[in-house]
Amino acid sequence: MVELAWLIPAAPLIGFVLILVVGRRLGEPLAGWLAFGAIGVSFLATVAVFAGLLAEEPGERFYVQTLFEWVPAGSFSVNAGLLADPLSITMSLFITGVGALIHLYSIGYMHGDPDFSKFFLYLNLFAGSMLVLVLGDNMLMTFLGWEGVGACSYLLISFWFTDAANASAGKKAFVTNRVGDFGFMLAMFLVFYEIGSIDYGTILSSAPELGSGVATTIVLLLLLGAVGKSAQLPLYVWLPDAMAGPTPVSALIHAATMVTSGVYLLTRMNPVLAVADGWATDTVAWIGVLTAFFAATIALAQNDIKKVLAYSTVSQLGYMFLAVGVGAYVPAIFHMVTHAFFKALLFLGSGSVIHGLDDEQDMRRMGGLAKLMPITAMTFIVGWLAIAGVPPFSGFWSKDEILLYAWNENVALWAIGLVTALLTAFYMTRQVILTFFGRTRYFDPTAEEITAAFDARLDLSEAAARQAQDELVAAHAGVEKAVADVDKRTEAVEIAATKLNDAKAALAAVSAEDDAHTKLAKALEKAEKAVPRAGENLSKAQGSVAEANAEVDRTSERLAEAEVAFRALGARRADLPLPATHVTAASVPPEVGDLADDLPASFDERQEYHPHESPWTMTLPLLVLAGAAAVAGGLNLPFTKDLHFLEHWLEPSLFGNETKLMVSSAGKWGLALIAIMSAVGAIGAATAVYLKGRIAPARIERPALARAWYVDETYARVAGGPGRSGFELAALFDRRVIDGFVNGVASAAGSIGGSLRSTQTGYVRNSALGIVIGSVGVVLWFLSRLWTS
Amino acid sequence: MFAAEAAEAVSFPLLPALVLVPLLTAAVIGLMPAERDDYARIIALVGSTITGALSIYLLADFQTADGGFQFVVERDWIADLGLSLRLGVDGISLFLVVMTGVLFPIGILATSADHDAKPYHLWIMVLMAGSIGVFMALDLLLFFMFFEIVLVPMYFLIGSWGHGDRVRAALKFFLYTMAGSALMLVGIVAVVFLTNQHTGTVTFDIRELASAQALTTNEARVVLLVFALAFAVKVPLFPLHTWLPDAHTEAPTVGSVILAGVMLKLGTYGFLRFGLYLFPQAAHDLAPVFLTLGVIGIMYGAIVATVQRDLKRLIAYSSIAHLGFIILGLFALNSQGIQGAVLQMVNHGISTGALFILAGWIYERRHTREIAALKGLQKAAPVMAGVFTLVMLSSIGLPGLNGFVGEFLILLGAFSGARWWGIVATSGVILAALYLLWAYQRVFHGTPDQDNAVMPDLRLSEFLSILPLLGLIVFLGVYPKPVLDRMEPAVDELITHIEANVDDFVEPEPAPVVEQDQRDLLVEALHEAEEKAEAAGEEGE
């Protein structure tokens, strides 16, 4: 049965090729079922190989299958070969098992996506690469898978490529991983140089003869590779960003499988670690435990449901590194398996929530979903209990083992590990409460909506003020017009007076007997009448000036009022009744009052939305994983030696390098008790904060934590600042100095010669011509000598 | 071991045919009436495909285990001067010939002339004849002749069918390489002359000169430096590289493809044949210089590529980085390094050739190569994006694709033979990912604006024309054995030659491991561990 080993990676790769050729034509959902079938076959093949190995004596459980010679070059030769042993088959079992479930889940999750078949194309390629990684019988095969999964991760993170953030996240993941690959490659070169082969058989059997210095260097180089792939300090930054990919990808690649590759690699090379100086493995342990703690603090303050899980993954991987560093390989793999179950479960659960809540990822907008998505909630809770370390759920057993070995090595490692466990229970409790309990905050008006409503009102008020201002301007114009009228009327009065005087003078100049006298008298009479009329008009005009002025007063008063109102409203913007930044289950909806009428359409549309449980393709994997997460502790129960199934099974792959525990039975019970108490205590504390609202969450969710200790910003600033300018400088150097060198010399020479222009353009030509002429001369000389000799 | 038998076994002169068929094709195109220039492309396609088929026949007929020159053809030319027409291929030049034979028809098929199709195709066929000839020449003067011949058609291709500032770029290309060639001629004559001074015979036969090793140490170093200058321009090595970005950018697509795919290899091939083969001692002594320049090329090319704003310029700088790897591998002076270098010559031709073809298609559609003007093309052209992704991953050196195998062997060899250079060069793999992924992100990712949203995807004919390259990218990544197997005897012979002619030099590589069954080793290791544990346990008791 072990002969089926080739089929394990081949099945998903065949699936990949089939989907590549006919995927588009198959479309949804057939392409998904094809991919699922491929990984399913792979799972069955793994089970067959597993059974085959079990049938062997423990000491004989190695099966090497050489497919063909891959890269032969001189003394270097590497086969495309597979190694089925307890370690690789353990990995393959959960990769194909969890992988198959996630393929099934994806059929539901990716429903309706225009690139449905492409998603499964990548997913199958990923699975194939991951299996090559763990099953490869030499470092180069592992590296093939290692880079293959990296490329798939890149393709899947930037799957929704139209969003610039997703594209950047994919690139960041690939490039950060390449930093680690640099270490992996050098490790391979050094192994080849020292041992003469990079086949695991040769490496593992000759490792005991390695010098400790060489072994130390190899371990540190492998560690660099592992730190990149498994997202440890300081190269973890890509993993939280990788959440940009579809959620099944986060579950499969960025939680359950690919990111554990670093742990696998270090475990696979355990005979080399055994020879290395103590400080090399100490470095592994310390990087692990510090990453575990560091990432857990960040997880406390994340609001994105997937970001919490991402930092949690970084943290849990840190535990595995801690385990490897203290020589606790079995607990490392044990935790890897339980983590694959419960973290895949948690991610898929979060995906189900996101799916059922119209792509909402902010936990502050969730709450109370237990009623709306009962299966998702129930399975998520199992995952929570597992990761929080509550017995008898699986996470407790594996994490407890790691802490036990840490205690065995160094109390400080144990203490930090324990605090991390406490933080883990705390932030996971927070997540469960915020997501599934309390009031459903999804329907609350959002900050954007409230602000929009308010801004609409503010716009109205501003419009009123503007209208008052317009009216004031009009009133001022009225005054001006009235004043002009007064001027005109005053003039008319003067004219009338002048006319009267003229008429009087004219009348006085002629005698009464004159014929003109009557006429002039009539004119005088007329002029006399005109004077009071003009006076009347004037006073009327003066009256309308007063009226216009009064209008100005009235409108400016109205404007002042409108402005006061506008300002007053504007001032309220600062203290709008927005939803709380730090939310608990007890948080009340924002008191929007009369603003409710102005809320935008998105609010009303949301009220019509019904958060729903996911289809069976998604809930079935949740149920299976929940079952596994609940009972996987049974793989390696600590009570009696007979219950250490995983330890016995993995023994051959560890070549006796597993650390021997020096802890008494009472000590073990004591440590377990402390772990249980701290988990329960942390759950209690988180309940007090997030369910009861006893303590303000803002006191825990500090800005420094929310912004991940500013590490990403600092990296970005260095890369975008000095890094970028350094590169630009090199390009400038290339243009100006290297390319401009010849021309520069020419221009210097030219300015001396005074004919700058012609030499500058012609210099390259001249110098080339010079070389050619000179060369021809030399050649002719040689030839002539040759001829005569 | 000149394997003359192999040559005689062939019923007709295969190697001369590889040069003559493209030359005849050029002549046919030249004799065609100018108004029928639509036929030029078809004739060129037929001619180049026949040549390509001949090169594949060559590959099939090649004796894998034979490390010497095969299919050798010798005809006296000017006997007094030791000049003969000598052609032959060994496991090193074989794949360069085949790559040239394959790349030309694809280049012709994938692109077309925007004007004057007749002279355009005529020059391409002349170029093909010269490029193939140069890899087969076993005579220094013949090598020089072919080396010079390729300059002229490339000059006209860039100058007449290029873009933008094409005349200046063509001139710059011509002057740089012409100066290099002149130096090479000096080197060639000097070698022959000095050998004659020491041995009294006059010969231009590379094999005879190599086995004579007549030059004194200092003479050899000076002559090697003269050759090195000529080849450094061609590769190009820092700081003689600035003609390349200009030439690549302004050249028509087929010019860029051939320039990157074939012509740069004249430089690295020259380093191999003239540096390592003719002057092993001098090459060994001067290796640190070339290793350093190679590593500078890797880092510098990648860094400058990262911030380029023009897509073709970016690919041009990436070539400088890739060629730096080749130099590094050659001067690692061990079989991994040299085999990796030769493989990388072939792989770079395939990947970069494909990248230039893709960049050309984008230019045809969008009339710009400005990265900033392109955005979100994956939306409009998913097939092109997929093809680009594959080629990009190959160029980055992803295992499973062709680019990786060569790069890996080079770095592995360098780690054994030139450790610190190897370590620095390995960090170049980080930069390679950076510049290509960033470019891809800017060109293909994001939401396309008006012009980019309506860009047509690949036509079926275009897809089919690049398909052979895609096939090779995957095949050579998964199964490079057929290539490596044919290369290995020749490389071994070269290394034996170096070992024989360099004082106190042994190929730097780890002690060979005894071939043993991997499973037995593991079982044994486990038993030993168990025994040790038991012993420790007994002691404890």
Say if the Cβ atoms of A730 and B300 lie within 8 Å: yes
Contact B29, B43 (CB under 8 A): yes
Residue in chain A closest to B423 (alpha carbons) equals A186
H helices of B137-216, in order, are 140-149, 151-161, 166-199, 206-212
d(CA A591, CA A442): 15
Q: Tell which wins on pLDDT, A788 or B42.
A: B42
The DSSP annotation for A29-62 comes to: THHHHHHHHHHHHHHHHHHHHHHHHHTS-GGG--
Using one digit for the tens of pLDDT, what is the confidence trace for B395-430? 999 999 999 999 999 999 999 888 899 999 999 889
Q: What is the mean pLDDT of residues A631-650?
A: 88
Shortest CA gap B522–chain A (Å): 5
Say if the Cβ atoms of B525 and A271 lie within 8 Å: yes
Does position A38 have pLDDT exceeding 90, yes or no?
Answer: yes
Closest CA to B131 of B27, B51, B38, B207: B51
Cα Rg for chain A, rounded, in angstroms? 42
Half-sphere exposure of residue B28: CA atoms within 13 angstroms, side-chain side:
17
Distances from the Cα of A565 to the Cα of A568, A572, B504, angstroms: 5, 11, 95
User: Residue A375 has what pLDDT?
Assistant: 93
Chain B residues lying within 8 Å of A727, measured CB to CB: 303-304, 306-307
d(CA A144, CA A126): 12
d(CA A579, CA A589): 6
d(CA B287, CA B304): 25
Residues in chain B: 541
Distances from the Cα of A513 to the Cα of A507, A509, A519, A522, B370, angstroms: 12, 12, 12, 15, 108
Strand B70-78 vs strand A76-84: parallel, antiparallel, or unpaired? Answer: unpaired
Does position A789 have pLDDT exceeding 60, yes or no?
Answer: no
Using one digit for the tens of pLDDT, what is the confidence trace for A111-131? 988 999 999 999 999 999 999
Strand A76-84 vs strand A63-73: parallel, antiparallel, or unpaired? Answer: antiparallel
pLDDT band with cut points at 50, 70 and 90 for residue B6: very low
User: Residue A775 has what pLDDT?
Assistant: 67
Chain B residues lying within 8 Å of A201, measured CB to CB: 516-522, 525
Q: What is the mean pLDDT of residues A654-668?
A: 87
Shortest CA gap A744–chain B (Å): 14
Does position A785 have pLDDT exceeding 50, yes or no?
Answer: yes
Contact B70, B27 (CB under 8 A): no
Say if the Cβ atoms of A73 and B339 lie within 8 Å: yes
Say if the Cβ atoms of B412 and A162 lie within 8 Å: no
pLDDT band with cut points at 50, 70 and 90 for residue A673: very high
pLDDT band with cut points at 50, 70 and 90 for residue B181: confident
Say if the Cβ atoms of B415 and A189 lie within 8 Å: yes
User: Residue A753 has what pLDDT?
Assistant: 45
- Fill in the amino acid letter for A611: P
Cα Rg for chain B, rounded, in angstroms? 24
Does position A532 have pLDDT exceeding 50, yes or no?
Answer: yes
Say if the Cβ atoms of A195 and B304 lie within 8 Å: no
Cα B389 vs. chain centroid, distance in angstroms?
A: 22
Neighbours of B388 (CB within 10 A): 25
Say if the Cβ atoms of A271 and B530 lie within 8 Å: no
User: Residue A755 has what pLDDT?
Assistant: 42
Share of chain B above pLDDT 70, in %: 96
How many inter-chain contacts (A to B, CB under 8 Å) are there?
A: 255
The widest CA-to-CA distance across chain B, in whole angstroms, is: 100
User: What ipTM was assigned to the predicted interfaces of this complex?
Assistant: 0.93
Q: What is the mean pLDDT of residues A189-218?
A: 92
Does position A746 have pLDDT exceeding 50, yes or no?
Answer: no
Q: Which of B307, B445, B488 is opposite residue A74, by nearest beta carbon?
A: B488
User: Residue A750 has what pLDDT?
Assistant: 46
Relative orientation angle of helices B382-396 and B402-417, to the nearest 10 degrees: 10
Q: What is the mean pLDDT of residues A201-229?
A: 93
Does position B65 have pLDDT exceeding 90, yes or no?
Answer: no
d(CA A326, CA A332): 10
Q: Tell which wins on pLDDT, A606 or A740.
A: A606
Q: Which of B426, B518, B520 is opposite residue A186, by nearest beta carbon?
A: B426
User: Residue B1 has what pLDDT?
Assistant: 41
User: Residue A770 has what pLDDT?
Assistant: 67
Distances from the Cα of B164 to the Cα of A110, A286, A394, angstroms: 46, 58, 67
Distances from the Cα of B375 to the Cα of A167, A408, B368, B392, B407, angstroms: 12, 56, 12, 17, 31
Q: What is the mean pLDDT of residues A276-297?
A: 95
Chain B residues lying within 8 Å of A171, measured CB to CB: 437-438, 441
pLDDT band with cut points at 50, 70 and 90 for residue B5: very low
Contact B230, B143 (CB under 8 A): no
d(CA A164, CA A175): 17
Q: What is the mean pLDDT of residues A300-327?
A: 94
Average pLDDT of chain A? 88
User: Residue A397 has what pLDDT?
Assistant: 93
Shortest CA gap B131–chain A (Å): 22
Shortest CA gap A612–chain B (Å): 31
Does a cis peptide bond (omega within 30 degrees of 0) precede residue A234? yes
pLDDT band with cut points at 50, 70 and 90 for residue B82: low
Both structure tokens of B155: 């000059």
Does position A504 have pLDDT exceeding 90, yes or no?
Answer: no
Please calculate the CA angle A733-A739-A745 and round it to the nearest 5 degrees.
105
Contact B246, B277 (CB under 8 A): no
Residue carrying the six token digits 């030993």: B528
Shortest CA gap A736–chain B (Å): 11
Using one digit for the tens of pLDDT, what is the confidence trace for A133-183? 999 999 999 999 999 999 999 999 999 998 888 999 999 999 999 999 999
d(CA A38, CA A18): 10
